[in-house]
Amino acid sequence: MSRFARSAIVALATLPLALALAPAARAETPGPDWLTPAQVTQALKGAGYSEITKLEADDGHWDGEGLKDGRRMKFDADPKTGAILGEVPIE
């Protein structure tokens, strides 16, 4: 088998893996019915966050980091209400 043929087979064999991983490499776009980042920040401040340091769309919700009661926290927020779905301290 020629070197070119082997290269082509390897490329074709790895293509499904590359395609499966491609969506994970790009950021998600908020849906048209999602709250804006400013609206989510306002909801989070109402839930006790004094500062939001990171906020991005991820896997169907807002994912972020901020300060709550003087502690750095990671959180997930509902995309349509801004309600906290889960939060954990950053260690």
Which CATH number do you get for residue 83?
A: 3.10.450.40
> What is the value of pTM for the model shown?
0.69
H or E element, residue 6? helix 3-25
66 vs 39: CA distance, rounded Å: 15
Q: How many domains does the chain have?
A: 1
Under the banding of pLDDT at 50, 70 and 90, the label for residue 9 is low
- Residue 56 or residue 91, greater confidence: 56
Residue type, 64: G
55-80 per-position pLDDT tens digit: 999 999 999 999 999 999 999 999 99
Q: What pLDDT was estimated at residue 14?
A: 55
**Residue 66 domain boundaries:** 28-89
Q: Give residue 91's pLDDT.
A: 87
List b or e across 45-67, with b for residues whose CB sees 16 or more CB atoms inside 10 angstroms. eeeebeebeebebeeebbbbbbe
Q: What does the DSSP 8-state code read for residue 34?
A: S
Amino acid, res. 85:
L
